């Protein structure tokens, strides 16, 4: 039978510590990815609510630009199409 060869105890501990740290970091990455997914979902939800509310405002006021500082607004002038003969 062949003799079993091993690295030193210090080398083994060092490689085990590296592996533990890598596993810990992978766990953190998974957690952060889950958080990212939740935040993106919330972002899409708020964005849809914003677009729905814009539609409500447009029904009430027409096409307008709103100053988000003071709430004042100006109508959006639609470009007139040139009539070709």
Q: Which residues on neighbouring strands pair with residue 66, listed in sequence order? A: 73
- Tell me the pLDDT band of 6, cut-offs 50, 70 and 90: very high
Reported as a pLDDT band with limits 50, 70 and 90, residue 41 is very high
Q: What pLDDT is recorded for position 84?
A: 64
pLDDT value of residue 69: 97
Largest CA distance in the chain: 100
């Amino acid at each position: 039978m062949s003799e079993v060869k091993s690295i030193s105890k210090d080398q083994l501990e060092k490689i085990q510590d590296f592996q533990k740290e890598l596993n810990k970091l992978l766990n953190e990455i998974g957690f952060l990815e889950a958080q990212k997914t939740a935040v993106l979902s919330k972002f899409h939800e708020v964005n849809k609510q914003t677009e729905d509310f814009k539609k409500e405002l447009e029904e009430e006021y027409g096409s307008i630009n709103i100053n988000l500082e003071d709430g004042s607004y100006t109508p959006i002038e639609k470009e007139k199409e040139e009539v070709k003969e």
